[in-house]
């Protein structure tokens, strides 16, 4: 490396084209003398900047609208990459941003675009990058809010996002803008390959090859072909897909906008129509606080249950409710709604038939599911939405719309699939074995609770009465890395084992996802007979007998951190009545009652190997501390500023007193 190697190939003509002056934009700022005198200098200078960037001076006074997105990468006009994004979910968003901007301009608006790109949980699985995943959400929401406030003349905000953490961060930011019109444009879904696997299953090619359950050359082919289009969230109902349908259910996105096939005309039309809605919201005075209400939050929770959504939304919906100033849902609220709302949708990863999420879109998406929930009398139909009409009015339109008929017919024509097999009526869903989505087991291992996507437990290991029962020995791991190593070491994990991964909560790893483990268990032939218990969380595509969000976490002294190798654990999940328990019941030599087990665990020391990961970033350590003051993961991992300030002030007072006492002594 040398200066010559860096500068030696420069084109010498670049020096001959340097200029220091240029003609400025021609025209005048569209301001009266009174406006010029009274306006803040920043507002006037903003017009100067806009003229400098090329906007027509005669339109500098049009309605300013901020378009925020998570766009990443650089896509050439021919669709080929100039620079890669971190994932497909944000790579094509520029097309939707352009559609929004063009329509806003056509309607007399002045669009601005700003970006906070987002990470990919799939890309960071099994790496230290996962330690930044959940904390990123709060950071991004903060930056989004700062960007909105940095355009003081804004009349409205359009958010464009698709995936796991950028999408909830966006909606948290929109929800906090109580007095502004805001609307979400969901980033859609990736297409399935004509021959290959979805982006969830393909993440297990390594562990399947290691266990001799997949040919090496076939694994390489599958790994190359899984993402059949360049944009959109993964083809399964993970956190990205769940977020899209839930936030449409919230009323902050247009009807039938979630899960559209990325890059296709109907997907771009979602953006165009959203821009039209934004213009009308500005003119009518409809704002975010009119849309995101306690009732709207409950509707969103119902959509989560009816679709069989990702457990990560248990973190995101409370955070959005908090930002909106609404009642933050509790575990009891989640349990109540899951007991009332049946699961109706058959898609990846829950089944029973593993259709890609674009099938759910063509089958009618969120409004089609809502028609069924309406017949059950479950929805709050009087809530306002971004259409300027109530949810009930939207559903009246949808039921007889050309759009509904055309999309459902298209699914039957190109794939030979009946839309009523993808989105089912309640009786049909029950007959096909679909159960409600989540259960919250408690017990002496999880006195504060845990969560399992009970609808995704393999039906072959559930008893005829609808209850999953598993009693087995604990295999203890103090890191996800150690656990996945054991799964790749053929014979280390066997049928009947209960894998316990401790130290994966906020203080240990930033509450990492453990999809490496859950996906491996799903794809390995013996995996359905193995359970997972952890204080970490799961990917939205995770399935199986996986108990996460165990509280308290190991590093807070939780009982999970006191389990030992070979301890006998009893797991019970009633998938019908949505009740469950998770208990230490002794050893192979001595059985104990639940209460005795609780006492034994209380008297034990936490496993000495349970420590914050040595690679845990300071940024994540700070996040873990701040979110714990706001109520922790069961309250959405939010930053409750008043509580944080009170806690800091109380701590300073104690430290000051100690210092004063030290001086006086």
Report pLDDT for 515.
Answer: 87
Instruction: Give the per-residue pLDDT at 396.
Output: 98
Q: Confidence band (pLDDT; 50, 70, 90) for 575?
A: very high
Of 176-180, 265-269, 660-664, which range is least confident? 660-664
> Is there a domain that residue 238 lies in?
yes
Please tell me the least confidently modeled range out of 169-178, 257-266, 427-436, 539-548. 539-548
The yes-or-no verdict on residue 154 having pLDDT over 90 is yes
pLDDT at position 119: 97
| 356-380 residues labelled b (16+ CB within 10 A) or e (exposed) | bbbbbbbbbbbbbbbbbbbeeebbb
User: Within 10 Å of residue 664's Cβ, how many Cβ atoms?
Assistant: 6
In this structure, the answer to whether residues 247 and 187 fall within a common structural domain is yes
Nearest to 109 by CA among 54, 167, 41, 63: 63
pLDDT band at 664 (very low <50, low <70, confident <90, very high): confident
Mean pLDDT of the chain: 96
Q: Is the domain of 213 the same as that of 242?
A: no
Q: Is the pLDDT of residue 379 over 90?
A: yes
* Residues 97, 214 within the same domain: no
High-pLDDT (> 70) share of the chain, %: 100
State residue 522's pLDDT score.
Answer: 87
Q: How far apart are CA 664 and CA 493, in angstroms?
A: 61
Examine the domain organization and report whether 420 and 562 are in the same domain: no
Q: Give me the mean pLDDT over the 10-15 stretch.
A: 91
Span 85-144, pLDDT tens digits: 999 999 999 999 999 999 999 999 999 999 999 999 999 998 999 999 999 999 999 999
Residue 621 pLDDT class (50, 70, 90 cuts): very high
Domain's final residue, options 227, 247, 280: 227
Query: Looking at residues 22-38, what average pLDDT do you find?
Result: 96
What three-state secondary structure class fits 113? Answer: strand
pLDDT at 541 over 80: no
Question: Cβ distance 635 to 318 under 8 Å?
Answer: yes
Query: What is the structure's pLDDT at 109?
Result: 98
Domain identity same for 419 and 517? no
Is residue 665 predicted with pLDDT exceeding 80? no
- Does residue 18 lie within any of the structural domains? no
Whole-angstrom distance, CA of residue 13 vs CA of residue 621 = 51
pLDDT at 481: 93
Same domain, 234 and 214: no
Assess whether 221 and 164 both reside in one domain: no
Domain co-membership, 349 together with 491: no
pLDDT at 544: 86
User: How many domains does the structure of the chain reveal?
Assistant: 4
Sign of CA dihedral 471, 472, 478, 484: negative
Per-residue burial over 578-617, b if 16 or more Cβ lie within 10 Å, else e, is bbbbbbbbbeeeeebeeeebbebbeeeebbeebbbbeebe
For residue 655, report the phi and psi dihedrals to the nearest 5 degrees.
Answer: -65, -40
Q: Are residues 151 and 258 in the same domain?
A: yes
Name residues whose C-beta falls within 8 Å of residue 28's C-beta, 6 or more positions apart in sequence.
57
Residues 106 and 180 in one domain: yes
What value does the mean pLDDT take over residues 595-615? Answer: 97
**pLDDT of 656 over the 90 cut:** yes
**Domain with 478 in it:** 449-603
Task: Say if 97 falls within a structural domain.
Answer: yes
What is the model's pLDDT at position 437?
Answer: 87
Last residue of a domain, one of 376, 394, 428: 428
Q: Domain check: are 404 and 522 in the same one?
A: no
The reply to whether 539 belongs to the active site is yes
pLDDT over threshold 80, residue 252: yes
- Does any domain span residue 107? yes
* Residue 540 resides in a domain: yes
Which residue in 257, 539, 542, 635 is the catalytic one?
A: 539
CATH of the domain at 471: 3.50.30.80
pLDDT tens digits, residue range 191-213? 999 999 999 999 999 999 999 99
Inside any domain, residue 24: no
pLDDT at residue 293 tops 80: yes
pLDDT at site 662: 85
Residue 653: the pLDDT is 94
User: Can you spell out the DSSP letters for 506-565?
Assistant: HHHHSS-B-HHHHHHHHHSTTGGG-EEEESSB--TT--SSEEEEEES-GGGT-GGGG--T
Of 169, 96, 162, 98, the closest CA to residue 134 belongs to 169
Both 237 and 142 in one domain: the answer is: yes
Considering the domain boundaries, does residue 27 fall inside one?
Answer: no
Buried b (16+ CB within 10 A) or exposed e, 410-423: ebeeeeebebebbb
User: Does a structural domain hold residue 7?
Assistant: no
């Amino acid at each position: 490396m040398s200066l010559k190697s860096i500068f030696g190939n420069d084109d010498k003509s670049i020096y001959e084209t340097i200029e220091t002056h240029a003609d400025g934009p021609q025209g005048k700022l569209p301001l009266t003398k009174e406006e010029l005198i009274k306006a803040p200098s920043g507002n006037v200078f903003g017009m100067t900047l806009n003229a400098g960037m090329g906007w027509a001076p005669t339109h500098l006074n049009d309605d300013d609208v901020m378009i925020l997105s998570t766009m990443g990468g650089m896509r050439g006009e021919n669709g080929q990459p100039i620079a890669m994004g971190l994932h497909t979910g944000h790579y094509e968003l520029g097309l939707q941003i352009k559609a929004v901007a063009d329509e806003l301009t056509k309607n007399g608006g002045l669009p601005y675009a700003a970006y906070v790109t987002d990470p990919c949980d799939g890309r960071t699985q099994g790496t230290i990058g996962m330690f930044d995943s959940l904390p990123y959400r709060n950071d991004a929401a903060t930056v989004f809010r700062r960007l909105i406030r940095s355009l003081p003349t804004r009349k409205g905000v359009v958010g464009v996002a698709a995936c796991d953490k950028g999408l909830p961060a966006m909606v948290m930011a929109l929800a906090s803008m109580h007095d502004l019109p805001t609307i979400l444009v969901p980033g859609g879904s990736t297409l399935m390959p004509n021959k290959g696997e979805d982006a969830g299953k393909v993440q297990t090619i390594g562990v399947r090859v290691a266990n001799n359950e997949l040919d090496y050359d076939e694994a390489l082919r599958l790994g190359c072909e899984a993402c059949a289009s360049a944009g959109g969230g993964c083809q399964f109902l993970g956190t990205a897909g769940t977020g899209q349908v839930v936030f449409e259910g919230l009323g902050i996105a247009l009807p039938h906008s979630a899960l559209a096939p990325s890059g296709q005309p109907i997907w771009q039309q979602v953006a165009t129509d959203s821009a039209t809605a934004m213009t009308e919201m500005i003119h009518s005075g409809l704002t975010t606080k009119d849309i995101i209400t306690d009732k709207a939050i409950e509707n969103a929770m119902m959509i989560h249950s009816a679709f069989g959504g990702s457990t990560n939304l248990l973190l995101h919906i409370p955070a959005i409710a908090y930002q909106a100033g609404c009642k933050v849902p509790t575990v009891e609220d989640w349990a109540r709604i899951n007991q009332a709302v049946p699961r109706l949708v058959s898609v990846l990863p829950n089944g029973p038939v593993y259709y890609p999420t674009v099938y759910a879109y063509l089958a009618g998406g969120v409004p089609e599911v809502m028609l069924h929930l309406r017949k059950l009398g479950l929805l709050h139909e009087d809530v306002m939405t971004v259409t300027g009409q109530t949810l009930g009015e939207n559903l009246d339109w949808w039921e007889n719309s050309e759009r509904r008929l055309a999309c459902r017919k298209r699914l039957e024509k190109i794939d030979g699939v009946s839309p009523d097999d993808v989105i089912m009526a309640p009786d049909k869903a029950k007959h096909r074995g679909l159960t409600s989505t989540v259960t919250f087991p408690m017990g002496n291992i999880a006195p504060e609770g845990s969560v399992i996507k009970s609808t995704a437990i393999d039906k072959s290991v559930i008893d005829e009465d609808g209850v999953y029962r598993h009693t087995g020995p604990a295999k203890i791991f103090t890191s996800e890395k150690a656990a996945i190593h054991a799964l790749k070491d053929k014979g280390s994990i066997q049928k009947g084992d209960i894998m316990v991964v401790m130290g994966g909560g906020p203080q240990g790893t930033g509450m990492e996802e453990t999809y490496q483990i859950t996906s491996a268990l799903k794809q390995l032939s013996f995996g359905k007979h193995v359970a997972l218990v952890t204080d970490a969380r799961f990917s939205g595509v995770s399935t199986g007998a996986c108990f996460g969000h165990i509280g308290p976490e190991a590093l807070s002294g939780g009982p999970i951190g006191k389990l030992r190798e070979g301890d006998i654990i009893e797991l019970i999940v009633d998938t019908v009545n949505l009740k469950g328990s998770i208990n230490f019941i002794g050893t192979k030599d001595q059985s104990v009652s639940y209460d005795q087990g609780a006492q034994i665990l209380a008297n034990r020391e936490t496993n000495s190997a349970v420590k914050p990961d040595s690679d845990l970033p300071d940024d994540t350590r700070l996040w873990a501390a701040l979110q714990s003051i706001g109520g922790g993961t069961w309250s959405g991992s939010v930053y409750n500023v008043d509580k944080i300030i009170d806690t800091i002030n109380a701590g300073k007072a104690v430290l000051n007193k100690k210092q004063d006492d030290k001086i006086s002594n």
